[in-house]
Amino acid sequence: MCGKILLKVRIYYKSTYTYKLFKMFQAELESFIITLGNIASMGLDFFKGLKNFPTTFKSIMEQSSRFGVSSLPITLSIVGMTSIIIAMQVAGEMVKQGGGNYVGMLVAILMVREEGVIMAGFAIISMIGSSMASEIATMKVTEQIDAIKVLKVNPIHYLFTPRIIAGTIMMPLVVIISSLFGVVGGAIASNLVSGLTYKAYFDSVWFGLNMHDINVCILKSISFGFVITLISCACGMEAKDGAKGVGVATTKAVVWSFVTIVILDLIFAAIFFY
């Protein structure tokens, strides 16, 4: 009798939203831990393979062109529009309050410390990271990865190495160019909105910006380029279940990359600017 009652209670409990919510949370937590472990394992495998440098200069250049040149127009557009919006919001009010000499400094610091690298990272993730993830995921579900293994080639060394090296090298260049573009865009917007002269703007930039900001920006962009490519490739390698799995892997790569670079940005801010 007690067994039947417990069985009915168990059946009723499993039909409740509380149980379904708990199971969904449990599944997401398990997926999070598994994905994190896979990314760490593949990253370790990548570093182990570097001693033999299992790629070619041609492969690195191909991925560098894809990572840097192909993504530059959209990155410049996003960073440039962001700087123009910021300058339009700030310049007019600061000039009215007599703080026009600080407009360039504020825009430049914001671009170099935060907005330039973050917006460039978002653009790279959306365009290049998702492309890398879907490419490797397609290779996984169509068994091309298995074919590579049959040829006694480590797919992580063959596929990850040129992409991660290219991303780590090219990300700082993209960030430097886009940040410079953003500072110039801020100068134009400030001049049009408030009449602030270009000389006053760039004098303020020169006065407020220092090498510490630039060095941190470069270090941050290197770490962003590394984690974006590693996460994109690792999530693509996890794909399964055909075309649906490619979509899931691509979405996971984008979400994980977004969250990771925001966390990294917080860590850099706490270490270098707190």
> Domain segments of the chain: what residues?
57-272
Report the pLDDT value the prediction gives residue 10, as an integer from 0 to 100.
66
pLDDT in tens, 126-148: 889 999 999 999 999 988 888 88
SS (H, E, C) the chain: CHHHHHHHHHHHHHCCHHHHHHHHHHHHHHHHHHHHHHHHHHHHHHHHHCCCCCCCHHHHHHHHHHHHHCCHHHHHHHHHHHHHHHHHHHHHHHHHCCCHHHHHHHHHHHHHHHHHHHHHHHHHHHHHHHHHHHHHHHHHHCCHHHHHHHCCCCHHHHHHHHHHHHHHHHHHHHHHHHHHHHHHHHHHHHHHHHCCCHHHHHHHHHHHCCHHHHHHHHHHHHHHHHHHHHHHHHHHHCCCCHHHHHHHHHHHHHHHHHHHHHHHHHHHHHHHCC
Report the pLDDT value the prediction gives residue 218, as an integer from 0 to 100.
92
84 pLDDT higher than 60: yes
Residue 227 binned pLDDT confidence (cut-offs 50, 70, 90): very high
Residue 24 binned pLDDT confidence (cut-offs 50, 70, 90): confident
Average pLDDT across the chain, whole number: 85
pLDDT in tens, 96-118: 777 778 888 888 888 888 888 99
Report the pLDDT value the prediction gives residue 168, as an integer from 0 to 100.
93
pTM, rounded to two decimals: 0.86
